[in-house]
Amino acid sequence: MIRLEAGDATALILPERGAAFARLDHAGRALLAPLPEGAEPGRGFFAAFLMAPWTNRLDGGRIVVGGVEHRLPVNRPEEDTAIHGFLRDMPWTVTESRADSAVLDCAFDRPPFAGRARMAVRLHPDHLAMDFALTNGAAAPTPMGFGWHPYFARRPGTRIAFAARTAFGRDARNLPIGPRPSTGLVGDAAMLEGLDGHFAGWDGTLHLDWSDGHGLTLRARGAWSSNLHLFVPRGADAVAVEPVTHAPDAPNRPAAAAHGAMHVLQPGATLDASLMIHWR
């Protein structure tokens, strides 16, 4: 476990568990829904984990690379989907570590994917900064993508606001349908409970406010700056705000890909993104 500190802010990162965040706190206040003792990141409505080399769902685990169809392991059998990639299940290596910052790397080789991921995190007294990069190490051009899946703490009166041009619904297997025009969302999380939807044409900024006057603002840049997934699980003390590089099941759904395709990376090419979370 890595512990970062800056002023009244603290963060706990788990290199052995996919470089997931177990906690992010400010002045003793949980910003992320904390990871319970003994729980696994990504197996409940808490913490924050990385998704790569794809995000969200692939129908039947299907992806075509260089004209060849590949079937990735289905890890959501009730939906027949491969979800959130596999880097969240791999150990990461800490290559740099200071009191307020860390750099973690992960090399992978699971056909058709191969390459290296890098996450650099710096904690400040009033914000968190993260840079992420994914490099194609395969011999052929390969569609790739990544995202970050934080479960922010949800308290009574939690409000969410962001702007986007396009929204997708979902079918019975939580795969995208649509799209339809959108202006984004502004509202109380209680009114949005059960929402699990993708937004494209996002302007890269989201505000989350609690009723006590505290809140946070997430700003995404680079490959994260135009696609956002929002998940408000029923009955949970969390809301997932996920900057991602592509739409769900983009390789198999032209309508989704038109608003957020996976990036076809040439051998040795790198896709990168960054975000900042300011709290108040």
pLDDT band at 139 (very low <50, low <70, confident <90, very high): very high
Average pLDDT over residues 91-101: 99
- What is the CA angle 94-100-105, rounded to 5? 20
Determine the pLDDT at residue 220. 99
Whether the pLDDT of residue 117 is over 90: the answer is yes
> For residue range 225-261, what is the model confidence (pLDDT) as tens digits?
999 999 999 999 999 999 999 999 999 999 999 999 9
State the Cα–Cα distance between residues 251 and 17, nearest whole angstrom.
27
Average pLDDT over residues 47-57: 98
Average pLDDT over residues 15-31: 98
Average pLDDT over residues 125-151: 99
State the Cα–Cα distance between residues 211 and 214, nearest whole angstrom.
7
The single-letter code of the amino acid at 147 is: G
pLDDT band at 42 (very low <50, low <70, confident <90, very high): confident
Average pLDDT over residues 24-36: 97
Residues 6+ apart with CB under 8 A from 37: none
- Torsion of the alpha carbons at 237, 238, 239 and 243, rounded to the nearest 10: 180
Q: Is 57 within 8 Å of 249 (Cβ atoms)?
A: yes
Domains along the sequence of the chain with CATH? 2-279 (2.70.98.10)
Q: Which residue has the higher pLDDT, 38 or 119?
A: 119
Determine the pLDDT at residue 228. 99
Q: What is the mean pLDDT of the chain?
A: 98
Residues 6+ apart with CB under 8 A from 242: 51, 55, 147, 148, 149, 150, 228, 229, 230, 231
Stated pTM of the model = 0.97
Place of tokens 């939807």: 197
State the Cα–Cα distance between residues 142 and 268, nearest whole angstrom.
11
